[in-house]
């Protein structure tokens, strides 16, 4: 195959590529370009200059208006005209960005000292946007004129604009420290700034004090500038945060609304909000408060109205009779934007770079800027005064030879010839000759000569004064102080925000928001929870249930009560009654996992309603593997309850099988294979929530604990078997052993299809007398019946109640039963029992003939009939 020869054109292309095309890594290109872009938006867009406190767009707007002559004493001009001027000459971006900046500069709820005076709709504190720029009219405010003063006297540097056809200032002269007075907010690449407004009088006084004492300690500065002064007023809390921010540039304060109460009627108040935090949207604030009322988060608010008018801001909140106004104020401060935090981040451009600084460096930068401004102005005025004095001296000299001057001018050919002849004849300078030949004849009168001499004397004084400023820094600083005091007196206004030293820690007791009333709570074995009014409960025949579900807990409770839901995985759910959704009794309810997240295999085994956690009560917990412990009720009270809380530490494959409360002098434990152990309550230690407890009952292989409960000596108890039988027994018939014994057998063991103990419940004489209800649950159904329907039978396997596999029995408490004095159990360290110390389970034994050991139990007294 023939190789194609390179042509002359190919060589030119290769030469061009080699000369013009660069091979650079993409990451280097992006890094370099982004660096340039970042530098631009940091210095030329988002962050204010420390000297005049303005961003470039703001500076360009004010300068353009000054050039157009739209001063505070002149008529307004259309905003669209100004925006067009700014965009066409200085700011080559969209007109909307320019107009938005203009609007903000005019808003008295955003700017402590508005720099633009705008006619028309310029937005509102409710978040309403301003009218289009073609409708509004604008002019400079007096404060803006103070920032622009002397700009035409070469006081600041100018640079070419974007197309090199105009000049624009790099900074404004700024006759007061605008950065601190109006604050700033902005976000750029890697930097953000958030500087709150301050009081002009305080800032000016601080600047003057710093001029007098350049090494002023911060403590003295902090006494002058008390803190931020927001245009919307409010209360600023946190002296420590303010001082940190003023010193370092970073700090946090709390800003809260100013409120008061008015009496509407006897025992009925109204809350009135007169000032709200800075940059809080009033309409959104009113809406959020009303949402709390609509959602019944706070019942004592009848109505909320926005009554703001030309006299000032006013939000009225009408309360119900007897409502605690101060509590509701605290609740609203905590849960709405009536109180917000404000984080200082005082970043500004100093020496062409962004810096996080405190107040003293900012004011020193401003003072240095003023030195430069006054020096430049003095040089400009000195040059002008010297030029004028030179002319005046020539005019005075001319007066003595006026006739000859006139003769020379008349005999000259033209203006240039006249000037040349005058310079030759009288040694006038070019400048003096120009002034003479352009002089009007009436100025030659004797009166005008006196005026020239007076002007020359004043010029001498002025030149001396300007030279003094330029050569003596002390005089220069006095000039700066004098001008600052002038603007202090003419532009300063009283402080709007109130400063409080300490941040008030608001604690809300939410129970004060809840109306204490009686309701019915239902919890099913599958974990559905509902709360219903008594009216709905009484009107419904049956509760709403899923198939094969049943009610585990059904009680009348108060809305201020708390439910403790214990689960098989050693956790409990802390559930205030008022947090449960109010539903009809016939509704299905809310699945517990939608209230508090629980594990997939976690299920509720016991529920208690607690009205007061500060009582001396213990709870008894037992696990499948025979571990037991007591815990104090008061330890179960928590403030955060978004997830289940550990109540007992479990070993592998273990689970909690029973929970009992209101201790008696005995503890009875039943195992699944029918063994019962009774020991004294004081033998079981009291532990914390994270402990695993101690061995309560000694279990043989293939046996497990089913239930444990407190009991008195005189009590009876029912226990439920897996075959749906209920068997009754007596506590006093159980011998009292030590803890961790096997106990005695109370249920005969069958070889095929044996009865297994699943659950048990104590039965007192009072419960029997009052014929309380008894609840029985199986895998598929649930029964609630009077105790009298569960007839006692002496058969050793009791009475068959349900056909399905039973697993839960509970005898309801009697309201007439007197509580005993609780058994006080001291808290002990966890006990570790060594295997060699474990004693064999004790059973009742009798020796008979032929040296055979025969085990006896109370079961021999019963018939062998199996119901």
Burial of 129 (0-12, 13-18, 19+ CB in 10 A): exposed
Catalytic residue among 135, 591, 675, 718: 135
Task: Please give the Cα distance from 95 to 105 (Å, whole number).
Answer: 15
Which DSSP helix (H) or strand (E) runs through 192?
A: strand 192-195
Task: Please give the Cα distance from 420 to 208 (Å, whole number).
Answer: 54
Specify the 3-state DSSP secondary structure of 592: helix
Task: Please give the Cα distance from 288 to 340 (Å, whole number).
Answer: 14
Which DSSP helix (H) or strand (E) runs through 83?
A: helix 79-89
Nearest to 137 by CA among 102, 169, 171: 102
Are 305 and 272 in contact, with CB atoms under 8 Å apart? Answer: no
Tell me the C-alpha to C-alpha distance, in Å, between residue 566 and each of 573, 603, 619, 756. 6, 8, 11, 23
Nearest to 741 by CA among 839, 642, 621: 839
Which DSSP helix (H) or strand (E) runs through 285?
A: helix 282-294
Neighbouring residues of 487: CB distance < 8 A, sequence distance ≥ 6: 146, 175, 176, 200, 204
Task: Please give the Cα distance from 694 to 687 (Å, whole number).
Answer: 10
40 is catalytic: no
Task: Please give the Cα distance from 34 to 529 (Å, whole number).
Answer: 57
Q: Report the half-sphere exposure of 771 (CA within 13 A, side-chain side).
A: 6
Specify the 3-state DSSP secondary structure of 784: strand
Are 610 and 547 in contact, with CB atoms under 8 Å apart? Answer: no
**Sole residue written with tokens 């708390």:** 562
Specify the 3-state DSSP secondary structure of 33: helix
Q: Which residues pair with 185 in a beta bridge?
A: 194
**Sole residue written with tokens 């649930």:** 782
Q: Which two tokens stand for residue 473?
A: 């820094």
Which DSSP helix (H) or strand (E) runs through 359?
A: helix 359-400
Rounded to the nearest 10°, the torsion over CA 793, 795, 796, 802 is -70
Are 552 and 524 in contact, with CB atoms under 8 Å apart? Answer: yes
Are 171 and 59 in contact, with CB atoms under 8 Å apart? Answer: yes
Are 341 and 277 in contact, with CB atoms under 8 Å apart? Answer: no
Helix/strand/coil (H/E/C) assignment for every residue in 607-640: EEEECCCCCCCEEEEEECCCEEEEEEHHHHCCCC
Helices (H), 438-574: 446-471, 473-491, 534-539
Are 65 and 211 in contact, with CB atoms under 8 Å apart? Answer: no
Nearest to 662 by CA among 630, 696, 697: 630
Task: Please give the Cα distance from 797 to 107 (Å, whole number).
Answer: 87
CA 611 to chain centre: 32
Nearest to 199 by CA among 480, 502, 477, 499: 499
Tell me the C-alpha to C-alpha distance, in Å, between residue 326 and each of 318, 333, 510. 13, 10, 14
Rounded to the nearest 10°, the torsion over CA 435, 440, 442, 444 is 30
Are 499 and 236 in contact, with CB atoms under 8 Å apart? Answer: yes
What does DSSP assign to residue 98? H
Neighbouring residues of 215: CB distance < 8 A, sequence distance ≥ 6: none
Catalytic residues, which ones? Answer: 135
């Amino acid at each position: 195959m023939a190789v194609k020869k390179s042509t002359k054109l190919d060589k030119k292309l290769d030469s061009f590529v080699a000369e013009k095309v660069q091979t650079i890594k993409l990451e280097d290109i992006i890094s370099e370009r982004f660096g340039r872009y970042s530098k631009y938006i940091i210095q030329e867009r988002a962050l204010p200059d420390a000297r005049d406190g303005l961003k470039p767009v703001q500076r360009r707007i004010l300068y353009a208006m000054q050039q157009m002559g739209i001063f505070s004493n002149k008529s307004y001009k259309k905003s669209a005209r100004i925006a067009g001027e700014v965009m066409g000459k200085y700011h080559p971006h969209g007109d909307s960005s320019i107009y938005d900046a203009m609007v903000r500069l005019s808003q008295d709820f955003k700017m402590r000292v508005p720099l633009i005076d705008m006619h028309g709709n310029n937005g509102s504190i409710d978040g309403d946007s301003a009218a289009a720029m073609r409708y509004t009219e604008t002019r400079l405010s007096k404060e803006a004129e103070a920032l622009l003063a002397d700009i035409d006297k070469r006081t600041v540097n100018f640079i070419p604009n974007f197309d090199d056809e105009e000049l624009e200032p790099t900074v404004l002269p700024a006759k007061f420290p605008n950065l601190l007075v109006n604050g700033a907010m902005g976000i750029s690449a890697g930097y953000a700034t958030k500087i709150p407004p301050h009081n002009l009088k305080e800032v000016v006084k601080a600047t003057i004090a710093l001029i007098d004492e350049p090494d002023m300690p911060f403590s003295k500065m902090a006494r002058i500038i008390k803190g931020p002064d927001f245009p919307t007023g409010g209360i600023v809390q946190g002296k420590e945060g303010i001082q940190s921010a003023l010193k370092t540039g970073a700090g946090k304060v709390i800003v809260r609304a100013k409120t008061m109460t008015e009496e509407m009627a006897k025992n009925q108040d109204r809350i009135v909000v007169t000032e709200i935090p800075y940059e809080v949207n009033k309409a959104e604030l009113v809406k959020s408060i009303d949402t709390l009322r609509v959602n019944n988060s706070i019942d004592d608010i009848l109505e909320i109205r926005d009554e703001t008018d030309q006299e000032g801001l006013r939000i009225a909140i009408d309360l119900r009779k007897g409502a605690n106004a101060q509590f509701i104020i605290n609740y609203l401060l905590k849960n709405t934007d009536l109180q917000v935090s404000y984080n200082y981040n005082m970043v500004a451009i100093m020496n062409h770079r962004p810096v996080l600084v405190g107040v003293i460096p900012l004011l020193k930068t401003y003072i240095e800027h003023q030195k430069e401004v006054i020096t430049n102005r003095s040089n400009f005025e000195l040059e002008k005064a010297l030029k004028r004095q030179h002319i005046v001296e020539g005019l005075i000299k001319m007066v003595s030879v006026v006739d000859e001057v006139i003769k020379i001018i008349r005999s000259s050919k033209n203006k240039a010839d006249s000037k040349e002849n005058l310079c030759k004849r009288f040694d006038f300078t070019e400048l003096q000759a120009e002034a003479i030949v352009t002089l009007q004849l009436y100025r030659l009168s004797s009166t005008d000569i006196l005026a020239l001499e007076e002007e020359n004397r004043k010029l001498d004084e002025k030149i001396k004064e300007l030279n003094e400023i330029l050569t003596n820094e002390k005089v220069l600083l006095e000039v700066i102080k004098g001008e600052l005091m002038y603007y202090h007196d003419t532009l300063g206004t009283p402080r709007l925000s109130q400063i409080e030293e300490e941040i008030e820690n608001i604690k809300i007791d939410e129970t004060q928001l809840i109306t204490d009333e009686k309701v019915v709570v239902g919890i099913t074995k599958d974990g559905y929870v509902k709360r219903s009014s008594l009216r709905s409960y009484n009107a419904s025949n049956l509760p709403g249930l899923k198939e094969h579900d049943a009610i585990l807990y059904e009680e009348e409770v108060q809305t201020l009560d708390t439910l403790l839901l214990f689960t098989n995985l050693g956790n409990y759910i802390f559930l205030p009654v008022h947090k449960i959704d109010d539903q009809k009794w016939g509704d299905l309810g809310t699945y517990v996992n939608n209230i508090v997240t629980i594990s997939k295999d976690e299920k509720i085994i016991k529920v208690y309603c607690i009205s007061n956690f500060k009582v001396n009560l213990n709870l008894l917990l037992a696990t499948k593997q025979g571990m037991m412990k007591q815990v104090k009720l008061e330890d179960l009270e928590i403030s955060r309850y978004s997830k289940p809380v550990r109540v007992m530490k479990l070993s592998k494959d273990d689970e909690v099988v029973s929970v009992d409360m209101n201790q008696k002098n005995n503890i009875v434990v039943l195992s699944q294979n029918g063994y019962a152990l009774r020991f004294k309550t004081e033998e079981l230690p009291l532990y914390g929530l994270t402990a695993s407890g101690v061995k309560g009952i000694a279990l043989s292989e293939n046996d497990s604990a089913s239930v444990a409960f407190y009991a008195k000596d005189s009590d009876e108890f029912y226990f439920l078997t897996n075959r749906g039988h209920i068997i009754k027994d007596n506590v006093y018939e159980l011998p009292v052993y030590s803890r961790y014994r096997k106990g005695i057998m109370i249920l005969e063991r069958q070889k095929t299809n044996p009865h297994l103990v699943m659950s048990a419940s104590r039965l007192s004489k009072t419960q029997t007398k009052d014929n309380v209800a008894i609840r029985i649950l199986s895998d598929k159904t649930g029964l609630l019946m009077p105790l009298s329907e569960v007839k006692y039978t002496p058969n050793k396997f009791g009475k068959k109640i349900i056909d399905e596999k039973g697993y839960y029995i509970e005898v309801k408490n009697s309201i007439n039963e007197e509580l005993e004095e609780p058994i006080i159990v001291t808290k002990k360290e966890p006990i570790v029992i060594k295997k060699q110390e474990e004693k064999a389970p004790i059973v009742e034994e009798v020796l008979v003939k032929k040296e055979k050991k025969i085990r006896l139990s109370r079961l021999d007294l019963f018939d062998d009939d199996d119901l």
